[in-house]
Amino acid sequence: MRTNGTSGEKILTEELLDRLLASDSIETYLDEEKVKDRELVDYLQFLLVRHGLKRADVARASGLNATVVYDIFAGKSRPGRDHAIMLAFGLDCDVRETQRVLRFAGVSELWCRQRRDAIILWCVKQGLGRASTDDELHRFGEPTLLSVD
């Protein structure tokens, strides 16, 4: 969703798709809807502010190495899928925010038809942290997010 600048109402992605498909030209759509690309780094910064966190908090809660977290926030590296999920846990994301982090990271979103993904989604919905989620994954015989070598 996005907010319409004039009235403050939320516009669903489906509505935007309808407007795009009904538009006479791509230029008209891009101009009228003020469409711009959003980057992973931008979204991560937004989540930091929204949740009142610091990068050090994210590193601690996610289980990721602080250098990895700082490199991702600086745009120096892109997280793989499990690292993106761990980052979402570190940012205290809800289900929608988690899916957006994954999308911006360029990896597949969590899918409830996949056993491991379903467990992770359930844990996110329950407000469990990364460590508790790993406990649940282990309990069900699924690979944990943080590998213990």
Q: What's the per-residue H, E or C state across the chain?
A: CEECCCCCCEECHHHHHHHHHHCCCHHHHHHHHCCCCCCHHHHHHHHHHHHCCCHHHHHHHHCCCHHHHHHHHCCCCCCCHHHHHHHHHHCCCCHHHHHHHHHHHCCCCCCCCCHHHHHHHHHHHHCCCHHHHHHHHHHCCCCCCCCCC
Q: How far apart are CA 42 and CA 102, in angstroms?
A: 14
d(CA 55, CA 146): 18
pLDDT score at 104: 93
pTM of the model: 0.78
pLDDT at 39: 87
pLDDT for residue 62: 97
Contact status, residue 73 vs residue 105, Cβ threshold 8 Å: no
CATH-assigned architecture of domain 40-139: Orthogonal Bundle (1.10)
- List, in order, residues 6 or more apart from 28 with CB less than 8 Å away: none
Q: What is the pLDDT along the chain (149 residues), one digit of tens a residue?
A: 334 333 334 556 678 788 888 888 888 777 776 655 568 999 999 999 999 999 999 999 999 999 999 999 999 999 999 999 999 999 999 999 999 999 999 999 999 999 999 999 999 999 999 999 999 999 999 999 998 54
What residue segments make up the domains of the chain, in order of their start? 2-33, 40-139
Give the pLDDT score at 25: 84
pLDDT of residue 125: 97
Q: What is the b/e burial string over 5-15, where b = at least 16 CB atoms within 10 angstroms of the residue's CB?
A: eeeeeeeeeee
